[in-house]
Structure 1
Amino acid sequence: MLIDRTHRPWLIFSGAGLAVAAIGYVMYSAMVVGGPRGGSAVGLTYGIIGYAFMLFAGLIGLRKKYPIVRVGRATTWMRGHLWLGLLSFPLILFHAAFSLGAGSLTRALMVLFIVVIISGIFGAVLQHFLPRLLTERVQLETVYEQIDSVRGQLLEEAEKLVADLRSALEGDLSFAEEKQRAMAASAGTVGGLTFASGLGASEFTSQIVADFFDQQLRPFLLHSGGHHCALADKGQASGMFSQLRVQLPRNFWPKLADLESLCDEKRGLDRQRRMHHVLHGWLFVHIPISYALLLLAAVHAVFALRY
């Protein structure tokens, strides 16, 4: 969620609400005998309003789960979730008179609330900056759910390129393209490949390409992440392809460049996956703790009002 000028009304409302609440708390603290208490009328007012804002922030989960029920725009709910959720924190602090409480339940509530607020701010910062960073660092951004499919396509393309390289190096035209087979008799060059049948290139060089594919390229393209692979590092990958260029004739270099481009695209997919996990991983902390907070806060309210 990009925090832009559309958030200004919410910022103004939250700032004004905080100012009014803070002034009221200062006046209440100066007037009350024995100091502010959560069980007083003013303290309960802060607690009720703060919990209402917490409930509103928590209801965004239901709004996302049932999008058919059009109760307000999704963007409005998101902005309200952010700003009212933030505003609820100082209101609860005013309710508790800036104390963690005497009981274990109230202390647990305050700790949970602090974790929720910190994780929420962290998530808001991530969602503001990370999508832009993702666009800058991943040139060929893919729909996240299609990353594995695209990775499979990269592997298929690499297999075809390597097969073409080996068939040209070994002079085995049974795997070559139709146009390449037509030129083989005259040792012609098609698509940057000069056939070994005309030049007598060694099978040793072909085996180098095969070993590189089996030991380095295929494992890197086959597995997500691939941090254990040397090709995952752009510098090491560049060095490995430079070594291959030394051992292969110059007219084979365009095919090597194509393979190197596939590795670049695979690194982009891995980078996108990692950034996606960072962008959404914080929710695995924020969401369950938020609902635990709402539940325990309701229990706290019942016990406080009854006993």
Structure 2
Amino acid sequence: MGSPAIGGVRLSGLGVKPLAQAALIAGLSVALFAAVWLYGAGLRDARYLDGWLLASGMILQIYFHVALKTTRLSPKAVARWRALHILLGYVLIAAFLSHANFSLPDTGMEWALWLGFFLVAASGVFGTYLSWSLKLRHSITTGFNFDRIPTRREEIAKEVYTAVTQDAAPSQDIPLPDLPYDVWILDLYANHLRDFLQAPRHFTAHLLGTHNPGQRLIDEIETLSRFVDPSRQEKLAAIKSLVIEKDGLDFARVHLLLTRGWLFVHVPVTYALIVISVLHVIVVYAYSSGAW
């Protein structure tokens, strides 16, 4: 799975801090470019060097995927492998740009290699972003089965409806007419909460990691809570907790769904890229003079 990473993910498995990450990746990339330049300065075809470096790196990335699937690795070993996978992914981008000579492809096979590498890299970046964003909301997704989310969402909707419709205790000892607190709460439910609770919401916001839509609902509840009596404040506090949980479920659904789905792009395209790369090597050596 030859994928680069994004800056939000630390190479914690290798014990490397964020600034050191950037320096290490930049240093390796510069060293690669320098080695290719020196190789070419010796009147040899530098495309053989960066091409085989690129091929070797892709084989290591595939081995990472195979190792995770076929061997039992400790969590620390998995973290180290993943960190190396991310680091190598960045360097492979430099190797690919060097091999392509920073230019667009000319032939159909070259275009296939370009598109294949781009899809692998882009899906790798996207998958790494998902992993990073899930870590930021770890408490929401921990222990939650993806298939359990719809059931719990329905339970929350019923609990909120029950809380909204149940009668509250009188707010005064003297039997004076109450303010229409329950009507206000019903109005809040009808105008803001009911639609939110009936189905998954705020897909784009959760994908981008913004809390604005869910926070607006919480603000509506907190604003109303300032104008009602203590018994209704308790009711609104319970509703607020359920709304926060529902918003967390929506976040978990988006990211767990995408975490499942992106592999159906990343893995097949990776293996397709390997096949095209093998064909590319065969064609190159079939029509080259073999000058190294």
What TM-score do the two structures reach when normalised by structure 1?
0.62
Whether 2:154 is the aligned partner of 1:152: answer: yes
Preserved contact between residue 142 and residue 269 of structure 1 (Cα < 8 Å): no
**Aligned position for 2:4:** none
User: Which residue in 1 is equivalent to 2:11?
Assistant: 3
* Distance change in 2, residues 1:199/1:242 (3 Å): farther
Q: CA separation of 1:261/1:199 partners in 2, compared to 1, >3 Å: closer, same or farther?
A: farther
Q: In the TM superposition, what are the counterparts of 1:64-213 in structure 2 within 5 Å?
A: 64-68=68-72, 73-121=77-125, 123-124=127-128, 127-128=131-132, 130-131=133-134, 133-134=136-137, 142-144=142-144, 145=146, 146-165=148-167, 193-194=169-170, 199=175, 213=189
Whether 2:48 is the aligned partner of 1:44: answer: yes
Unaligned 5+ segments in structure 2 are 1-8, 204-211, 288-292
Alignment partner for residue 224 of structure 1, among 168, 183, 200?
200
Task: State the distance in 2 between where 1:236 and 1:101 align.
Answer: 51
8 Å CA contact 1:155, 1:222 repeated in 2: yes
- Equivalent residue of 2:201, what SS? coil
Match of 1:60 among 64, 72, 79: 64
Shift of 1:296: 1.2
Greater CA drift, 293-302 or 253-262: 253-262
The Cα of 1:240 is off from its aligned counterpart by 6.3
Q: 1:69 to 1:199 in 2, by over 3 A?
A: same
Correspondence for 2:275 among 288, 292, 295 = 295
Count matched residues: 263
Distance 1:161 1:99, change over 3 A: closer
**1:26 shift after superposition:** 1.9
Q: CA RMSD for the aligned pairs?
A: 4.5
CA distance, structure 1, for counterparts of residue 118 and residue 247 of structure 2:
37
Relative distance call for 1:49 and 1:240 in structure 2 (3 A) is: closer
Counterpart residue type for residue 237 of structure 2: A
Identity of aligned residues (%): 23
* Structure of higher RCO (CA pairs closer than 8 Å, 6+ residues apart): 2
- Quote the Cα distance in structure 2 between the aligned partners of 1:216 and 1:98: 52
TM-score by length of 2: 0.65
- The structure with the larger Rg is 1
Rounded to whole Å, the distance in 2 between the matches of 1:95 and 1:80 is 22
